[in-house]
Amino acid sequence: MPTHSAGTATRSAVLWLLRLLTAAALAIDAYIHADLAPGYDLISARISQGDLFRIEAGAASLAALLIVVTAVWPVWAFAGLVLASALGALLLYRYVDVGQLGPLPNMYEPVWFPEKTAAAFAEAAGVVTALVGLLVVLRSRSHRRRKPLV
């Protein structure tokens, strides 16, 4: 019985560390997007790049709050998707001139600058911590289902 308690305590500590690291990555992402948004308001089609940055900041803030409050698998998945979509968009528009897509402006920006670099590192790290957190929660969930009722 003590081994089960030690394993549960270790898993709980690991999950809290992953939660805090993921929340930190989301907070960095939210801050950078909110801070840069006004400078991108003039890049627009139907919606401005500044507005898209504000939407990203809001989604990242919500995900950070949720991951601290509860760590159920849908929250881990949401956090990972927010971070992965931000990183994917950053890399896409850094390296590919996609042009305007419907209501989205042409956001091609083939340069790196400190805020973009910090966002990319935070988003990449957060994707990893969110994925690991999701896997730990799903694995723990599947082990509880297979446990004998003896």
Phi, psi (rounded to 5 degrees) for 48 = -90, 160
Q: What is the average per-residue pLDDT within 85-93?
A: 98
Residue given tokens 């709980």 in the structure block: 12
User: Are the C-beta atoms of residues 119 and 36 closer than 8 Å to each other?
Assistant: no
- pLDDT tens digit sequence for 14-66: 999 999 999 999 999 999 999 999 999 999 999 999 999 999 999 999 999 99
Q: Show me where the domains of the chain are located.
A: 34-146
Q: What is the average per-residue pLDDT within 60-73?
A: 96
Q: What is the average per-residue pLDDT within 118-126?
A: 98
User: Are the C-beta atoms of residues 110 and 10 closer than 8 Å to each other?
Assistant: no
Which pLDDT band, with edges at 50, 70 and 90, does 78 fall under? very high
CA pair distance 80, 19, nearest whole angstrom:
12
pLDDT value for 95? 98
Tell me how many degrees the CA angle 141-124-114 measures, rounded to the nearest 5: 150
pLDDT value for 10? 85
* Per-residue pLDDT at 4 exceeds 90: no
User: What pTM does this model have?
Assistant: 0.89
pLDDT value for 1? 44
